[in-house]
Structure 1
Amino acid sequence: MRRRVLILMVAALVLIGAFAAPAGAAPGDPTGAPNEGTDLTLGEKLDAANTEWLQAQAVLDQSKKRQAELAAQVEAMQKELEPVRASVNVIAAAAYRTGGNVRLTSALVNTDSPEQFMDRILLVNTIAQYNDRQIGRLTKLEKDLADAKKAADDEVAKQQAQSAIQAKKKADAESALAKMKGRADGYVNVNSPLATPAPRNADGSWPAENCILDDPTTTGCITPRTYHAAQEARKAGFTHFYSCFRPSGPYEHPKGRACDFAAASDGFGGVASGADKTYGTNLAAFFVKNASSLGVLYVIWFRQVWTPAAGWHAYSGGNGDPSSDHTNHVHLSLI
């Protein structure tokens, strides 16, 4: 009896382990998730460094846009203010020369008839209203101009702060990539199509997203931004097999913020060559060109890794096989 219970317990543990383990490729199955290694440290460091770098860049871009709008506003107000100020100066000079209210009172007293008296009252009232409007307009313009200039100065201060954050996070990204072999030429294609930008917050920053959408490539989940990036790639003509969510492993797969795009049309195979390698190179270049629009954290392809903070670096984090060396698929991680 005791032996039977022991056998049942072992069987149960095996079953639990089977369900807990991430889905892997069956022997010869090219559509199973590629084994990208276990370099969790690199993924976590790049995630932290590049997330903050991207957020700082987003706020910086929005600040520069706002500063340009304020500069145009200041220029327009200065042009409007000049003739108003000249008009008020004329009013002040005339009032000084004529004795102001004394001359107006005299003009009203020295009238020949009630009708003429009323006409002069209306004229004096009209002049006074015009003068008041011009002085009020000048006061408002001067205040608005001062506010706009202060806002522009505030944007400059914000930009300086964001640039300081970016410099720090670039150093952090470089540190995370220190074990790599240094800078690389990278993959660039000036003819890469443009992607439709993913939604942002009002200040230009990236909204936090959870793994809430069904992953069309697995039974797991992905974030809306991940789904958007994958769909934009397919719209751009990159329609080969790809896979996103994994319950465990390195990078952002368990968070629904990463996808692996096979170089071959039918799945993950050996080292890409010929048309398949060209496909992977063009796809990596597409993600890099549209990194700001899609919220790209980093791209890994053919022993090279790209980050927004540090650019392309040689990637030596693999184990010498096509999957962990990323020579059979393009890895994409998103903020």
Structure 2
Amino acid sequence: MTPNAPRRRAATAALLLAAVTMLLTGLAPAAPALAEPPNEGSSSKLAQLRENLDSAAKGYLEAQATLEASQTRQKTLNADLALAEADLVGLKKLVAVYAAEAYKTSRLGTLSLMISGGTPGSLLERASAMDRLTERDQSRLAALTQRQREITDAKTQLEAEIKTEQAALADMEKRKKAAEKALQAVVGGGGTTGYINPNSALAKPAPRNSDGSWPKETCSIDDPTTSGCITPRTLWAMKQAKAAGFNHYVSCHRSGGDGEHPKGRACDFAAAVGGFENASASGANKTYGAELASFFIKNASRLGIMYVIWYCKIWVNGAWKSYSSAGSNCGDSPAGDHTNHVHVSVL
């Protein structure tokens, strides 16, 4: 045995221990070949694809948010309308009671009261009583008129909300068709089937504006996966994935290239346990990637997901489409075809 053998064994054991520790804690090993983000490729074809997807998918999600906000408002207006109509029924009954009282007391006006005669005391008492009844009647009639106005206004608002909802739905459909057309023109984009697990965990919804729309965000938060920045919504989506048990290596911001990475609105999730590999995922790693893609698809409206790319397929506007980065066979370019990582773009 050479004098350096114990040192080599000790060094090997230390490296193995470090690797095991990093795997258990969800961190990627330090090997540059695995830790570096994948080169997804760059060409005019891909640039056009990403531009189309960014515009179409963003518009789709914004239209969807408008529709959801309109539906929520519609439910509120329906509830308000039901209450107003119930109040109206009650007030009509009260007015009918006071009308009957007026009839019984022969309140036909001042002249009728004077003609009916009686002592001065009884005359004043009847006049005072009539004033009180008249005041009550006027109060109830005023309330009735106000509720009638509220009902009319509520119905008008409801009709406006329905029109907004229909317009948003029509706009959504147009944007969806535009996105599909763009995909077909750039990458063939033919419809295809893809795995979606209906039992994927539900993510905690990302924050929205009070009206249900998505807040405008910039690359303003430190990216925990790189030295760059990401948007608050991107960080939220990444944390939700980790909370659901997806803890393989992740890389988000990239300073160069096109697409959402430089904007802090996209992350790449390695399929392999150790990080990004220059090989198509298989076995448990492929299952991991499919389940992760399914998680983001199921929670697209909750997290503001624009599109997901995984294993030569892209999910956008609620459907899977075929995806090829360079017209090669699926997997010839693991990074470009996204067979070694899941790409997620956030609104």
CA separation in 2, counterparts of 1:51 and 1:41? 15
How big is the shift at 1:286? 0.5
Matches within 5 A, 1:31-110: 31-38=35-42, 39-89=46-96, 91=98, 98=106, 100-102=108-110, 105-106=113-114, 110=117
Residue in 1 that maps onto 2:340 = 328
Secondary structure of 2:201's match?
coil
- Selected match of 2:321 from 313, 316, 321: 313
Give the aligned length.
307
In structure 2, the gaps of 5 or more residues are: 1-29
- Two-structure CA RMSD over aligned residues (Å): 2.2
Percent identity of the aligned residues? 44
CA distance in 2, matches of 1:207, 1:275: 37
Letter in 2 for 1:186: G
The Cα shift of 1:117 comes to 4.5
Contact 2:107 / 2:130 at 8 angstroms: preserved in 1?
Answer: no
Q: What one-letter code is carried by the residue in structure 1 that aligns with 2:54?
A: D
Does 1:168 pair with 2:174?
A: yes
Task: Indicate the residue corresponding to 2:281 in structure 1.
Answer: 272
> SS of the residue aligned with 1:192?
coil
| Structure 1 segments unaligned to the other structure (5+ residues) | 1-25
Indicate if the aligned counterparts of 1:259 and 1:332 stay in contact, CA closer than 8 A: yes
What is the aligned partner in structure 2 of residue 140 from structure 1?
A: 146
Q: 1:258 aligns with which of 251, 266, 275?
A: 266
1:213/1:222 contact within 8 Å kept: yes
Which residue of the partner structure matches residue 197 of structure 1? 205
Q: 1:99 to 1:111 in 2, by over 3 A?
A: closer
Q: 1:186: which partner in 2?
A: 194
Rounded Cα–Cα distance in structure 1 between residues aligned with 2:237 and 2:301: 11
Q: 2:112, 2:38 → 1: CA distance?
A: 93
2:33, 2:288 → 1: CA distance? 21
| Cα drift, residue 92 of structure 1 | 5.1
In structure 2, C-alpha distance between the alignment counterparts of 1:193 and 1:104, rounded to whole Å: 78
Structure 1 residue corresponding to 2:163, chosen from 151, 157, 168: 157
2:33 is aligned to 29
TM normalised by structure 2 equals 0.83
Alpha carbons 1:180, 1:317 under 8 Å: kept: no
Displacement after TM superposition at 1:96 (Å): 7.4
TM-score (norm 1): 0.85
The corresponding residue for 1:304 is: 313
User: Hey, what's the Cα distance between the residues in 1 that align with 2:79 and 2:319?
Assistant: 34
Distance 2:199 2:125 in 1: 75
